[in-house]
Amino acid sequence: MKKNFIFGLVFALESIPFCLLDPSQSFDLDAIIKGNEAVNIADVWTLYNIKTSSGRQRLADVIIHAVENGYL
């Protein structure tokens, strides 16, 4: 578990902000990706600060969990 936890942590650090996006900040990948050409995610997804304290706490809790359980 400890060996592979970093992959879950990285995924959480990317996915939680995405899940907390305001609908006005979201994007349609189907409209952006055409065919099999690679798309740089930095050109598509602009990250904004998490607006709510509960959202920021949710992200912080993942890191706290990792530290408290000896994964980091």
pLDDT in tens, 4-23: 888 888 898 888 988 888 77
Asked if 59 and 17 count as a contact pair (C-beta separation under 8 A), the reply is yes
| 27 occurs within a structural domain | no
Going by pLDDT thresholds of 50, 70 and 90, the confidence category of residue 56 is: very high
Of 44 and 68, the one with more pLDDT:
68
Asked if 9 and 66 count as a contact pair (C-beta separation under 8 A), the reply is yes
Across residues 15-37, what is the average pLDDT? 76
| 28 occurs within a structural domain | no
Task: Give the count of domains, the chain.
Answer: 1
Q: Is the model's pTM score more than 0.75? A: no
Q: Which domain holds residue 69?
A: 1-22+41-72
| 6 occurs within a structural domain | yes
What does the alpha-carbon distance between residue 20 and residue 63 come to, in Å, rounded to a whole number? 17
What does the alpha-carbon distance between residue 63 and residue 66 come to, in Å, rounded to a whole number? 5
